[in-house]
Amino acid sequence: MERNNDTTNDEVRLIVENQTIICSRKQLILSSDYFQAMFNANMLESEANEIRLKDVSYESLYPLIRHLHGEQLIFSTDSMCEILSTACMFQFSDAVKTCVRYVSRNITPINCLKIKELSQSLHLVELFNIATKYSLHFFSDVRNSNAFREFTQEQLVNYLSQETLNIESENEVLSAVLHWVESTENVSENFSAEDILDVAKKCVQLKEVDITVVDNPIEDMGEEWKMRFREFTKMLNDASVKINNLPKERYKPQYIVAVAEAETDEEREEPNAIYRFMGKSLLLYDSNKLADQASKRYGSQSSLDNPDSIGFTFDKRIDLPFGEESRNCNGFSLCVLGDRDLYVSGGEVDFGRNKWQRSLWRYDLFNPAKWEEVAYIPSQRRHHGSCCISSDIYLVGGFGQYRQILHSVTKYNTETDEWNDCASLLHGDFSLSCIGHHGKIYACKDKIQCYSVGTDQWSYIELSDDVRKLGVFSWIPLAFEKLILFVGKWYKNTGHIVEYNIESGESESYMNGLLPIEPESVCRAQDSLIGLGQPSTQSYEKAFAQFNLKTGKQSQPIKYDKRLKLSGLLAVTMYL
């Protein structure tokens, strides 16, 4: 039986690694600039029904061709980069977008440097930026990857000298240099103490290094290298050696997120944007600027002399994903998963009209472009608590339909895309403040309830007699090292700070700490607590206040644009 000539002419056989892929010529022309040029140009392949392709694997091209014919593009973490390269090579524009989206969501400390290098070579700016941000934020894990050990000296210096490298101290950076030196790919017999110092001077703020506590792999490399390290240490400590060190300080791009609504609709100009509020938005305040401003206000009231003036301003605005209904949507909850993803869940539009917000939305903080709807919440829920543990997002208590106070707890697994019910609260409640820490959830209001992920059971936490004597009505939980910090909410214009040891179960006042406001919400940014609430003595409605967890110092309240109504603080890492 003869085939239709149009069908015969449309069929093309691609020969790749001695294997045949049958596809549509028309589909190739529509989907690929590469094949469009091939078939429309005066080339041997333009009329051929069989084309041999070189420098490409069958495994990477076959799924792309099947994708052109309507099949889903299926990846694995092992194949994704090769498929992406092939899609770019043959200019399958739609497939490239799909590949970039998949690869960007599957970046790890092990592969981020390779993805960064690949995306640069393929001129994929968005993916390059995401991989760069990831590599800087997760430095403590990235430094142990094979890709880090394979750096050239130029690549090493460029990476370690970035001001947004996420470190606790410069000791980590010098340790990374020494580990790089120790790796077999980079060590040579002629790599001297002067060479080590030369590299370190280019990427480490040596004046801040405590050489006695630096993790030093060279100590295990034999007597000759021990001698070189001792010589390096002597040179480092020698006052006569001039070190042209890096002029910049490291900068952690951490921001305070606040839910905001303008008092009135109006256009006005800020340093970074002209904006118009048509509903609730999220505003980002740079925690570093906030800390700098707070440090100038310890023990000072001078900055509060004119409460009517506009104070501290925001750095970025993120519109909520509810569109025109955002102004009237209330009771939604925010949480952050894995330092990268901001989630919004639940809420109701126009109370009493049964218009529930049932979507779970995700905002990628490493690729700040738009919200993505990732799941449908199985039941109505507003004014609930939410928090994250591992890859799970927990929705805790709140109001359900007909204003029913909920005992129920449900979780969403971001890897399997599945919802599962958890054990119910011992005491159902709404407007719960929640935190996930070390496999447990702390859900707080007037009672403190603790959920164990391992046992799927809730229990009550009883604070010490001294803490109970404070008479605090409600608590906000925050995680800090091996402690849970409970901050008193709505009590006598001061936010008492209490530490709870998760191992011993003991509780006591933390450094006699107080926030000089009546806190409505509190978050932890680096080594500080940031609170939002009513100051004890000022005429304006709300202000920020800071408590340094290392020094025990508290700041005077820091005012902001009083035309904004702020609520619900959350700390996030975001690379603007």
For the chain, 576 residues long, give each residue's pLDDT as a single digit of tens: 233 344 457 889 999 999 999 999 999 999 999 999 988 877 666 778 899 999 999 999 999 999 998 899 988 889 999 999 999 999 999 999 999 999 999 999 999 999 999 999 999 999 999 999 999 999 999 999 999 999 999 999 999 999 999 999 999 999 999 889 887 655 666 678 888 888 998 999 888 888 888 877 766 667 777 788 888 888 887 755 555 555 567 888 999 999 988 765 555 555 444 345 557 889 999 998 888 877 765 544 444 444 444 467 888 889 899 887 877 899 999 999 999 999 999 999 988 788 999 999 999 999 988 899 999 999 999 999 999 999 999 999 999 998 999 999 999 999 999 999 999 999 999 999 999 999 999 999 999 999 999 999 999 999 999 999 888 889 999 999 889 999 998 766 678 999 999 999 999 999 988 888 889 999 999 899 999 998 866 555 788 999 999 999 988 888 887 778 899 999 999 887
- Give, in order, the Cα–Cα distances in Å from 469 to each of 22, 459, 473, 505, 524: 78, 22, 11, 18, 25
**What structural domains does the chain harbor?**
5-106 (3.30.710.10), 151-237 (no CATH), 254-573 (2.120.10.80)
Nearest Cα to 513, choosing from 525, 526, 531, 501? 531
Q: Which residue, 382, 311, 379, is CA-closest to 344?
A: 382
> Taken in order 209, 214, 217, 218, is the CA torsion positive or negative?
positive
Is the overall model pTM greater than 0.75, yes or no? yes
Report the DSSP beta bridge partners of residue 459. Answer: 450
Backbone angles phi, psi at 108, to 5 degrees: -130, 170
Q: What residues are paired with 571 via a beta bridge?
A: 256
**398 DSSP assignment:** -
What values do phi and psi take at 405, rounded to 5? -75, 125
Its sign, for the CA torsion 286, 292, 296, 298, is positive
DSSP string, 285-324: EEHHHHHHHHHTTTT--GGGS-TTS--B--SEEEE-TTGG
DSSP letter string over 457-514? EEEE----HHHHTT--SEEEEEEETTEEEEEEESSTT-EEEEEEETTT--EEEEEEEE
| 509 close to 467: Cβ distance less than 8 angstroms | yes
d(CA 4, CA 49): 15
Q: What is the DSSP string of 365-394?
A: TTS-S-EEEEEE-SS--BS-EEEEETTEEE
CB 63 within 8 A of CB 95: no
User: At a CB cut-off of 8 Å and minimum separation 6, what does 51 contact?
Assistant: 12, 13, 14, 15, 38, 45
Return the ∠ at Cα 120 (arms to 118 and 123), rounded to 5°: 110
Q: Give the separation between CA 335 and CA 234, rounded to whole angstroms.
A: 48
pLDDT attached to residue 237: 77
Q: Is residue 184 within 8 Å of residue 225, measured between CB atoms?
A: no
Strand, helix or coil for residue 178: helix
pLDDT of residue 231: 86
Residue 47's pLDDT is: 76
CB atoms closer than 10 angstroms to residue 571: 19
List C-alpha distances in Å: 332 to 233, 442, 475: 55, 19, 20
Nearest to 196 by CA among 217, 166, 210: 217
Q: Is 224 left (phi over 0), alpha (psi -120 to 50) or beta?
A: alpha
What SS3 class is residue 167?
Answer: coil
- 496: which strand partners? 514
What CA–CA distance (Å, rounded) separates 278 from 319?
A: 9
